[in-house]
Every structure is written in C-alpha cells, then in structure tokens.
Structure 1
C-alpha cells in the first residue's frame, strides 16, 4: 500500500528519513497494508533522496535537529501520532551532545502530544561491565537517552540496531588487504563471536513496523534487531564463497587493534572507544547477553549475510 494523505491515518514523524534507519522505517511502513501518513525530517529537502520521498507521498520537512534550533524542533512534531527518533553520534563524536539532542527530541514529541515513541537506542557497556568499560560512548549515550524516554510518560519502545552489514562496504579498513593477498576482517574478538548482523536499509524498519502494528504497543520494551545472527568465521567463509576473494578472520590483540585505528588518523579517544567497544562485544555480546529478537511475525523475511553479499557492490571494499 502506498503512503496516504487520508487524515484518519496515523501520522508518523520519522527522524533521519533519508538516512539508514529512518529510511528503512519509511520503506517498511510504505510496504504495509495499513495506511500511514509520514512526515520525514531531513537537513536537505532538495537532495535526491528527499525528492524520492516526496514522490512516495512523504511530507518532507527540512530541519536541523540541534539544541540551537529547539523551537523549530518542537514545532516539527505538532500533529504527529507516532515518532521514530534516532541520533547519530558519529556526526560529532560528542556523547553529551548526543544525549542532549536525544532528550530534546523526546521532549518535543511529548510536548506535541505524540502517543507513541519508537527510539533507536543501545545497551550500556558501562553498566553491563560493572564499570570496567567506560569509554564506549556511542552505546552508553544512547542508553542514557533510553532511560529518559522510559521515564517520559509517553509509551516508549527501544528498537536497537544490530551491527550494520553495510559497514564492510562503507569502511575499507573493515576488509584490510594483507601482505599475502588475502583480505582480513581483523578484530580483537574470537572467531566464534556471534554478530547480530543487520542489513539496516532493508530490514531495520521491519522491526519498527512490527512494534507499531502489534495489537498492544509494548510500552517499556526493548527489541534487539538482527537480519541474521552469525559467527565471524562463518561470515568470512560465506563472503569468500560469494565474492571469490580469499577472505579470512584475523584475531588481534587489543593493542594491535588500537594501532590499526591510530594508523587511520583517528584521535586517541575514538581509538579507545573502538577498542573497548569490541572488547565489550567479545566478552558480553553486542547486546550485553540479551538474545536477538525473533524474526517470526515480521512482514517479510530478513536478508541473510549471503544474500546481502550477493547483492552488494564490493568493488570499493576489495582494493
């Protein structure tokens, strides 16, 4: 069913509608047999992705969701029944900024009378590790926003995103060419570590749609999304089979892993964040020991790693 303009249909305000997660939410709702009006927020309403949304019937709102723009942010949610909220730590690498902006979005949605909020948060490595791992800011900051959302008084569900399959396409260092000609996924984790891998653009929105279309909105719950739970050793084997490239997994020490990120020119705090983030992943699991959500009941099957690999353009990854 296409996106509707019928006033009786619920209006869903989607933050980051031209981005990975927000775009996936729009895609999943547009596929639904239930009617939705969609208001998509973006910083550039004239770029091709925004124009494509307009053609689908999305109300595209150009807005910068920052604290300096708080009055406009509050106005942007007026009339919405549902809000999908997400922040992007990597745009500024500032946890306090992310937390402040996340709380602002919740406050704005609440002030506008939104009936349900779906937020894209993550677990807290600081809490789960008992204070051992305190520098995984892009996880911990989102967990603080989650706590704020649960206490907001607005029905609130936290739909967490798994590890993006697209990371291997977007970041050439994820598949580093070795001196022997192989391509290595080189992390400071065990090869048997299970990755809750998600083809975010295709599958993340399915979980949000599922939450919104349940008979009773599961207020206060957490959803740990995945397209496929897969070990690293199976990932490299399947990627080799699909691409014909010799892909291996290489287990690094924390020091070696950190040096790789330093060599990319990343500042020391980011290097520490990455090292501790993967330490957390290895010791406690990406979701801190919580099982991934069931894929049963989703509107369509999620995309496996092999399926993703077959459809992807690897030309810029294998260089």
Structure 2
C-alpha cells in the first residue's frame, strides 16, 4: 500500500507492503500474532444480520493467514440522532454471536457518533511463525479452490433497489454470515501454499494481488466459478454496485479474457463482503481438500490453476 513503510523491527514477519490480509508479529519462536481490522457499511437491512456479517468479515482475515482468532474489539460508527439505541444493541448482539461461534473473546471496543452507520472489528489471532499463510506464495502447478460463491455485492445493491427476491437476499445473508472457520481448519490439513479471502477487490482483484506477489499467472475457469442465484437477471436490471465497475476499470488491463463477453465478467469483479477463501494447493492436496470438504459439508469448488508468469497476471477462459 503506497505511503506505508515497513517497520525495521525484525519480529515483523508480514507488514503492509504485500497487501496481505493481516499483519504478523513474532513473539517467540513458536508463537506469532496475526492482526487485522475491517469496518463495513450495512449489506443487509436487519441489524442483527449486519452485526453477524461484519464480524464474520473481520474474522476472515485471520483465517486467511492460517491463524486462529483469539481476541477482538468492536468498532462502531453510529448515527445516534437518526437511529434508536435498540438498533445498536442488535448489531452488537449479532457480532457477539459470530465471535462466540469462532471462540474469540471480545475485549472491548470504541464507538464514534457518525452520520453513516458502520460497524467492524479489530481482531487478533495466533499462528506458528512457520505456518503463516501469505497471498504471495502460490506456486506454478497449484490448483485453486474457492469456498463461497460470488455475488453478494450485486445482491446487496438489488436489495437496496428493492429488486432482489426474498430468496436472493436470504442466500446472500447466509453466505456473508458464514464463518470461514471450518474451511480454514480443513485447508490447514492439506498443505496450502497460499491463501487470501475474497472481499472488496472482487475475485479478479484478489487474483491479481496473488499473481503479482508470486510472479505467476492465475488461470480462472469461468464456467467453474460458483455464483449466487439470479445474478444475470440482476445485472440486466442494472443492479451492479459502483465498486464492481471500479474494480473492472482498475483490473481489466491485467487480465486476458478475449474469449468472453465483457458482461459475463462482472460477477468476477463484484466486491464481496465476507467472501470465501481462495486457496492455492498442489493438485494432490487440492483433491484431498475437496474430498474432505465434501464429506464435511463444507462448500469448496475448484476454479482454476496457477501457471508460470506471463505478460498478464490473470487469464480467464
């Protein structure tokens, strides 16, 4: 990230320079801290659902780094002049529900009066220094696995525009409030070489970060990428968030997608809230992970592969 300088502290294992999902600080030869912070605006109308989604979103960064969340602090921006305190109570209760599910201890927080409602958490986790996962260490020959379907940004936009069906809204809320905990626990049994979670930059944006960091090219198999229901109709109705177009404008020069109609790519640029993990594993490990995930009822789909570096970091075919 421009403007940020990496600390000279030798115990800093992962800093801001690689756009990883969290920072990692070594305490002892066997213990390091994973730290992250995330704040979002409401992607759902229900306050408790908003709290759950915001907490799941913040916790995801720790899972993506190979860590286990242990403590968290609430960060609330609340328009007290326009919303009753009962709304805040429901948001915090939803966040607490997710922290309980994650086995993560709430230690406090901070509330700011603001014109726009926002909620998030700072989260601290633990990891063995040798087991830290990065977004910049994918290897040519790896296969890529995604653990949630895409489409939450488009559906959230349609909810605001009152064009989403109740079923579409319920599906998006269910995915966004699903912890990545079980997927991460399974992942760690199968020697992943790299991992990130899919959030605001969309699938293609996070693939670009992963590819550029490792000096590789990522091939995405368009037909294999899982999507939430009804996205094509919502896109046709114009329910595309501004962030989706910003992602497209930013990352389109980095991808080779000449065989596809441009509108088919929009879900791949869709900014996700509390999206899935994108995991890079050797083929045998990926196959074992997919088999274990299926047996455990954990959503996981193969979506592509890692190639030696080419002129463009992402190929969509």
TM-score normalized with structure 2 length: 0.32
**Between Structure 1 and Structure 2, whose CA radius of gyration is higher?**
1
Of structures 1 and 2, the one scoring higher in RCO (CA 8 A, sep 6+) is 2
